[in-house]
Structure 1
Amino acid sequence: MTGYRLAAAFAAGFVSVLVFHQGMLALLAAGGLTAAQPWSLAPTAPFGVARVISASFFGGLWGVALAFLLLRFPKSPSYWIVALLFGAIAPSLVAWFVVQPLKGAPVGGGFPLAGVLVALAVNGAWGLGTALLLRIVGPRSAAHAI
């Protein structure tokens, strides 16, 4: 993967958090399905950056991983299914089993059904958004292929 494609994948994941992940969170919050607030500027540990910026940064890193995975499905309808499933499952599992325990919370926050469904929905929206953005900024010729 070229430097341009790595940067594009990071940017796609970063922007997808701002638009698709947080957009889905806004819809779910407006529907009363979660108390979490989208586009939160509340500081997060350990560096005190805004939650939405922290989430976007990690969305960018996940975007690179997703771009590598999607290399295997460039023209297939599976491209969208893989993006949705990867987005919904991989970041959610890492959040539940790595991030939450590191922050002193129980694994998966105890796995309340509403919390699990919100995580899968917002992260799945992120995956689809990232895949869409990757298609938009995708290579224009075989010479620039991922």
Structure 2
Amino acid sequence: MIWFKAFISGLLATLIFHQGLFAVFYLAGMVPSAPYNLAPVPPLGVPAVLSLAFFGGLWGMVLWLILGRLSGLFFWLGNVIVGAIGPTAVAMLVVFPMKGLEVTAKTWTGGLVLNGFWGLGVALFLVLMGARAAQKANSK
């Protein structure tokens, strides 16, 4: 059940925190493309935002695997830091080159900020769903 909660936390954090902040950036003219992209992506033709949310869910599970035993400030900061660095590094070093997208200091910075905020969202949803309480109960 905890892995399901971690997946849902990552998925919801993508749709609310990541895409929410991306919307703020878009409205401020800081990014050229709109959030909540519904354009189909290969190979299944699902909307891009749903694909992103699915991978956000998988990353949520990775964060739980790495940080689930932490508590207090270390849990929150860990989710922000690992959430910022992990997905951004994979995006910039693997995904962007595969898609022929330019990797710049601006994309790195934007990715770190967006994904750090996403990591905060993952931590928040884990706590709201009781994952932290379940983890503490199982460790006793």
- Relative to the length of structure 2, the TM-score reads 0.89
Structure 2 residue aligned with 1:5, among 2, 6, 10?
A: 2
RMSD, aligned CA: 1.7
Identify if the C-alpha distance between structure 1 residues 138 and 144 changes in structure 2 by more than 3 Å, giving closer, same or farther: farther
Say if 2:111 is the partner of 1:110: no
Deviations 1:54-105 (A, max 9, x none): 000000000000011222312x3121111111111100110111112222x1
Q: Retained in 2: the 8 A contact 1:25–1:36?
A: no
Query: Matched residues in 2 for 1:94 and 1:64: separation?
Result: 16
Distance 1:36 1:117 in 2: 16
Is there any run of 5+ residues in structure 2 with no aligned partner, and where? Answer: none
- More helix, by proportion: 2
**Worse overlay, 123-132 or 39-48:** 39-48
Show the counterpart of 1:121.
113
Instruction: Tell me which residue corresponds to 1:82.
Output: 78
- Give the match's secondary structure for 1:98: helix
TM-score by length of 1: 0.86
Aligned mates of 2:18, 2:6 — CA distance in 1: 16
1:143 positional shift = 4.4
Query: Within 1, Cα distance between the matches of 2:84 and 2:36?
Result: 19
* Alignment: residue pair count: 137
Does the aligned pair in 2 maintain the 1:88–1:122 contact within 8 Å?
Answer: yes
Q: Secondary structure at the match of 1:57?
A: helix
Q: Which moved more, 1:40-49 or 1:55-64?
A: 40-49
Match of 2:33 among 31, 36, 61: 36
Equivalent residue, structure 2, for 1:60 = 57
Give the percent of matched residue pairs that are identical in Structure 1 and Structure 2.
38
Question: What is the distance in 1 between the residues matched to 2:48 and 2:103?
Answer: 22
Superposed CA deviations along residues 8-41 of structure 1, whole A, max 9, x for unmatched, are 0000000110000000100111111111211110
Cα distance in 1, alignment partners of residues 15 and 109 from structure 2: 20
Partners of 2:53 and 2:90 lie apart in 1 by 15
Output the CA distance in 1 between the equivalents of 2:86 and 2:106: 18
Consecutive unaligned residues of structure 1, counting only runs of 5 or more, are none
The equivalent position to 1:50 in structure 2, one of 47, 50, 53, is: 47
For residues 126 and 98 of structure 2, the distance between their equivalents in structure 1, rounded to whole angstroms, comes to 31
Once residues 120 and 134 of structure 1 are traced to their aligned partners in structure 2, the CA distance between those partners, rounded to angstroms, is 21
